[in-house]
């Protein structure tokens, strides 16, 4: 794989072509921040966050669009209700392999945070040294489901389809693959909180107080179940995307977390 952020770069993972981008040093030169996007996200929708994080941390940054999103191959609909678990357990490790990742921090937003959380709790992978979880979901909440239904109306009758179409080759697949799972009546009982019980790496959890898709109950679930070190950043006057809505505070906290992990690992090597 070429370490490049050239538009249209593709890697093949499990027979699917996935778009990706890279910033900063390659994996053999520095740790890597691996970015996992939200339920309607893609590489492009991280905007300048990857470049800023590479500059602030000295880490490489690797972002990719999951199948069904951005310029990646489409998926067959409907998605299974456990699609996040399948993505974590069946795909993410293969993506890390294909990208040549050696030591990394998984940084996920929304559904991407959930996928990172499940991976860290179910797959033994010594490459993963920490988690940054932005607006993670571990269970459904009525207000969050209402917000997703409202997004469905905006997609069908408003301009949401047009706005998303700038980022996704298959916008119907991208939207319905997310919306139709979350609004399925059977999904109301979905809960992956038990992933937290198995984490053994440091975690930074970030949440906006005004997030329409999830409340601070998601962060409290972490606090009540976690056995490993936890830092939290709760942002006032902030919704679902702290890295875009409050970039200074959010990126500074992420950078400090990553640099602290690196210092701790370097100290351990010296002691050894």
Which pLDDT belongs to residue 271? 46
Measured CA to CA, the distance from residue 192 to residue 270 in angstroms comes to 38
Strand 60-64 versus strand 16-23 pairing type:
antiparallel
Contact between 109 and 241 (Cβ < 8 Å): yes
Strand 203-208 versus strand 230-235 pairing type:
parallel
Fold of 10-271: Rossmann fold (3.40.50)
As a whole number of angstroms, the longest Cα–Cα distance in the chain is 61
Instruction: Kindly report the number of other CB atoms within 10 A of residue 99's CB atom.
Output: 23
| Upper half-sphere CA count for residue 46 (Cβ side, 13 Å) | 30
Strand 128-134 versus strand 60-64 pairing type:
unpaired
C-alpha gyration radius of the chain: 17
Which pLDDT belongs to residue 96? 98
In 3D, which of 230, 229, 247 has the Cα closest to residue 238? Answer: 247
Which pLDDT belongs to residue 272? 47
Domain coordinates in residue numbering, the chain: 10-271
State which residues of the chain have pLDDT below 50. Answer: 271-272
pLDDT tens-digit map of 101-120: 999 999 999 999 999 999 99
Which pLDDT belongs to residue 269? 56
Please tell me what DSSP assigns to residue 74: P
Strands (E), 45-196: 60-64, 104-109, 128-134
Would you state the structure tokens that stand for residue 229, as one six-digit string? 């070190």
């Amino acid at each position: 794989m070429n370490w490049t952020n050239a538009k249209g770069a593709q890697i093949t993972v499990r027979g699917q072509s996935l778009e990706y981008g890279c910033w900063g040093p390659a994996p053999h030169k520095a740790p890597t921040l691996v970015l996992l996007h939200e339920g309607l996200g893609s590489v492009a929708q991280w905007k300048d966050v990857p470049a800023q994080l590479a500059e602030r941390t000295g880490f490489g940054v690797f972002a990719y669009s999951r199948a069904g999103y951005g310029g990646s191959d489409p998926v067959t609909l409907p998605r299974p209700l456990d699609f996040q678990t399948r993505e974590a357990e069946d795909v993410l490790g293969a993506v890390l392999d294909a990208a040549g990742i050696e030591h990394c921090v998984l940084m996920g937003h929304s559904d991407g945070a959930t996928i990172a959380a499940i991976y860290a709790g179910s797959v033994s992978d010594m490459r993963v040294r920490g988690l940054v979880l932005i607006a993670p979901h571990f269970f459904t909440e009525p207000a969050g489901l209402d917000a997703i239904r409202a997004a469905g109306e905006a997609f069908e009758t408003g301009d949401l389809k047009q706005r998303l179409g700038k980022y996704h080759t298959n916008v119907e697949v991208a939207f319905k693959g997310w919306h139709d799972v979350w609004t399925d009546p059977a999904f109301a009982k979905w809960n992956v909180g038990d992933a937290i019980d198995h984490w053994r790496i440091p975690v930074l959890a970030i949440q906006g107080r005004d997030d329409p898709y999830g409340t601070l109950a998601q962060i409290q679930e972490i606090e009540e179940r976690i056995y490993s070190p936890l830092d939290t950043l709760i942002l006032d006057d902030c919704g679902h995307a702290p890295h875009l809505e409050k970039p200074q505070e959010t990126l500074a906290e992420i950078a400090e977390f990553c640099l602290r992990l690196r210092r701790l690992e370097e100290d351990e090597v010296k002691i050894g």
